[in-house]
A and B are shown apart, each in its own frame.
With several copies, the nearest count.
Chain A
Amino acid sequence: MADIVSLADGVRELVHDGDVVALEGFTHLIPFAAGREIIRAGLRDLTLVRMTPDVIYDQLIGAGCARKLVFSWGGNPGVGSLHRFRDAVQNSWPVPLEIEEHSHAGMANRYVAGASGLPFAVLRGYTGTDLAAQTPTIKPITCPFTGETLTAVPALNPDVSVIHAQRADRNGTVQLWGIAGVQKEAVLAAKRSLVTVEEIVEDLEPVPGQVILPSWAVTAVAEVPGGARPSYAQGYYERDNDAYQAWDAIGRDRETFSRWLTELLGVEEPA
């Protein structure tokens, strides 16, 4: 059964230097507060996994937490580039960043394989692109019945996956709804999982389109209201588009970013 913990304790107990860490949330329910807590915890040499390393990973990369990034799309949605990500890839600032690059379909299927206890997944993908030549985790596989050649990608099994959800009950059963992305797969694929939630409630009123993660499939739950800001939590708050715009200026310049970071490290996450 999942433990109910504070965000700070959850991060310190479950995330360690050098871990493979996935913070998921597809535009919706992005675990920003947990990301900031990972920065505060001063974690290093992480292999960060995420389909869409947007602003949350720009912050982690700029703060020097990451040694490697496994991803399929790295941008600031609706705004432009991730300048910290670019600076790390192009100039190794603040530390070199190794990348392992896939497509969304490939990443999604890697999580599915991980959640399914399989070492790999099969899809129609990558053929004819230049990605396969750059990414060793893309290989051809032959159908034993038709002889057709398809593409195999290896399972993703993070040491820890972190997601944000709308609610949990006191037993640690998690409920989320709206765009569900790949969060269920990320949690089920991981050795450990940390779920931040808007609120912990007595009873989880069923919601159409809900995804339920039973308590026994989750390691720890932390109540972090607003934990997905500046992304959104359907039914709780809207996306703060101005903050995404504002990040462009912060991330663009090393000094400005460093000031942002210094300020962050001085401020405790409200929990």
Chain B
Amino acid sequence: MTPTGSADWTADEMMSVAASHALAGVTSCFVGIGLPSTAANLARRTHSPDLVLVYESGTLGSRPTRLPLSIGDGILAETAEAVVSVPEIFNYWLQPGRIDVGFLGAAQIDRFANINTTVIGHDYAEPKVRLPGAGGAPEIAASCGEVIVVVRQSARSFVERVDFVTSVGYGRGPGDRERFGLRGRGPSRVITDKGILEPDPATCELTLTSLHPGVTVAEARESIGWDLRVSPDLTTTPPPTADELTVLRGLTDPEGSR
């Protein structure tokens, strides 16, 4: 694979490739739409051809030939190993913890990786901005073996505390998941356009553990709404290979998606 330089890719492409790498060795992935779906499909087209993609529309083991435009895109059913009802996908497949990784996006995410996709503003009845809501995210965050969040960094999206907890990360810190009876391990990685954040093993606080090539620590920290800690073992994210970029662009190119 020819090496590439940061001039050769966009920050979004780096984010999707880094997210796809997070699925290496994973058997099954419950895929949210948008960035997670792009990364999951990239993983299946590159290093993880047998990755089982599960969508909340009830498709098990889909092998879409193009990037699905929604979690219920017909291509998911046509290429699925099995299509089950929506109640079954949540009750028989997600709830018992059969799915290794839940792959989520976020409108807002906080220091303890709690996710808000419900309302911006602190008054639920009179929100500043009404967001789409929970969808499948709360139970994906609760029941998958682990959760990976893919979200672009901005002061608006990375906040000290989310306005509304739609999906639980680590609550207010260690022990909360157990207290809530959540059986999955919770968010293991938050992959952004700047780098990778992971919960501190002791405090559960999201910490910068990897910088994407060409990004400085200052750049990574400036768009975070809390005093982001940097891991002593900070690494640099492996750059996308030319092959990965080719596959990714094939997936996201509008022509490829018709």
Contact = CB atoms under 8 A, between A and B. Distances in A.
B95 interface: yes
A103 B71 contact: no
Given A27-B57, A101-B134, A128-B180, A234 B78 contact: yes
Interface string B71-103: 111101110011111110011101111100000
A150 to B, nearest CB: 8
Interface of A: 1, 26-28, 51-52, 71-75, 77-78, 81-82, 85-86, 89-90, 101-105, 108-109, 111-112, 115-118, 123-131, 134, 148-149, 173, 178-182, 184-185, 188, 209, 211-212, 214, 216-217, 232, 234, 238-239, 241
B70 to A, nearest CB: 4
A71 B97 CA distance: 25
B252 to A, nearest CB: 13
Contact of A130 (B28, B81, B166): B166
- 3 nearest A-B residue pairs (beta carbon): A27-B72, A117-B96, A75-B132
Given A104-B90, A124-B183, A148-B181, A179 B139 contact: no
A10 B137 CA distance: 36
Contacts, number: 203
Interface stretch (B14-22, B39-47, B58-66): B58-66
Interface of B: 27-28, 33, 52, 56-61, 69-74, 76-78, 81-87, 90-92, 94-98, 118, 124, 126-127, 129-139, 142-143, 164-168, 171, 176-177, 179-183
Contacts of B33: 77-78
A131 B69 contact: no
A19 B33 CA distance: 33
Contact of B138 (A125, A181, A238): A125
A27 B133 contact: no
B72 A216 contact: no
B138 A234 contact: no
Contact of B72 (A81, A179, A211): A179
